[in-house]
C-alpha cells in the first residue's frame, strides 16, 4: 500500500508530533499533517505532524503522491484549506489552536433537607402525644328540665311495688306527647266539679 498523505483535524489531542525538533502533543481540533503507510505484513503505521513542522522532504513525497497542495487539504473546511496551503508553502505561520468552548455546567441538585418528602415539601411532623380529641358537646332540650317526664306513674302504679319497673325516658317527641296527654287528663277534674255541684243540689232537696 502506498503512503497516503493528508491534512486533517486532530480528533483527540493524544497524537504527538513526529518531528524530532518538536515532539510535543498536537492539540485537539488543530490542523495536523498525517502520513499513513502499511507494511507488507499488513501493519499500519501513522505519523502525525504539526502542519508547520512538516519537513521539505516529507512534503515533496506528498506532492509526488497526490500531485498538488489542493489534493492534500480536501478533509478541511473551505476557509481552512487556503490557510493550510499557505502554511505548507511556508508563506505564513500555522494558526494557533482554536479556543475550546467551555462545557455547560450541570445544574447542582438542591440537597433535600431532612424530613422533606419526595415532592420537596417538608413532611408534617406528628403531633406530640397524639391528637387530642375535644369532648363531645352535650345538648339538652328544654323538656329535660321542665319536670315533665314520660315515666309518669300510671293509674294504680306504686313505685314501692315489686312489679313496678321504671320506664325509660323517650325522645323529645315522646315528651311532647306526654305533655299533650297530661293536658287531656285534666278534663275529668272539671267533670268532678260539675258532679259536686249536682250533689249539692240533691242535698238541698232533703
- Residue range 51-93, pLDDT digits in tens: 999 999 999 999 999 999 999 999 999 999 999 999 999 999 9
- In sequence order, what DSSP letters do the residues of 10-25 get, joined into one string? -SSS--B---TTT-PB
Residue 137's pLDDT band (cuts 50, 70, 90): low
- Give residue 73's pLDDT: 97
Residue 176 inside a domain? The answer is yes
Number of CB atoms found within 10 A of residue 26's CB:
25
Q: What mean pLDDT is reported for the chain?
A: 73
Residue 150 inside a domain? The answer is yes
Residue 82 inside a domain? The answer is yes
Does residue 11 carry a pLDDT above 50? yes
Residue 155 inside a domain? The answer is yes
Q: CB under 8 Å to 35, separation ≥6 — which residues?
A: 3, 4, 5, 46, 47, 49, 58, 62
Q: Do 12 and 76 belong together in one domain?
A: yes
Q: How far is residue 43's CA from residue 41's CA, in Å, rounded to a whole number? A: 6
Domain that holds residue 173: 142-205
Stretch among 20-24, 74-78, 80-84, 192-196 having the lowest mean pLDDT: 192-196
Q: What is the pLDDT of residues 94-113, one digit of tens each?
A: 998 887 666 667 666 666 65
**What's the number of domains the chain is made of?**
2
Q: What is the pTM of this model?
A: 0.49
Amino acid at each position: 500500500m502506498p503512503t497516503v498523505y493528508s491534512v486533517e483535524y486532530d480528533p483527540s489531542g493524544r497524537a504527538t508530533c513526529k518531528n524530532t525538533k518538536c515532539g510535543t502533543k498536537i492539540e485537539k481540533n488543530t490542523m495536523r499533517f498525517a502520513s499513513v503507510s502499511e507494511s507488507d505484513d499488513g501493519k499500519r503505521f501513522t505519523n502525525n505532524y504539526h502542519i508547520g513542522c512538516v519537513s521539505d522532504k516529507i512534503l515533496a513525497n506528498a506532492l509526488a503522491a497526490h500531485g498538488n497542495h489542493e489534493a492534500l487539504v480536501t478533509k478541511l473546511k473551505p476557509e481552512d484549506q487556503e490557510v493550510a496551503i499557505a502554511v505548507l508553502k511556508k508563506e505564513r505561520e500555522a494558526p494557533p489552536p482554536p479556543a475550546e468552548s467551555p462545557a455547560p455546567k450541570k445544574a447542582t441538585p438542591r440537597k433535600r433537607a431532612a424530613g422533606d418528602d419526595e415532592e420537596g415539601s417538608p413532611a408534617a411532623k406528628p403531633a406530640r402525644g397524639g391528637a387530642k380529641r375535644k369532648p363531645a358537646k352535650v345538648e339538652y332540650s328544654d323538656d329535660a328540665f321542665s319536670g315533665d317526664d314520660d315515666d309518669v306513674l300510671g293509674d294504680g302504679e306504686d313505685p314501692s311495688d315489686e312489679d313496678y319497673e321504671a320506664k325509660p325516658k323517650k325522645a323529645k317527641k315522646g315528651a311532647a306527647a306526654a305533655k299533650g296527654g297530661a293536658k287531656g287528663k285534666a278534663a275529668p277534674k272539671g267533670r268532678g266539679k260539675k258532679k259536686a255541684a249536682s250533689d249539692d243540689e240533691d242535698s238541698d232537696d232533703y
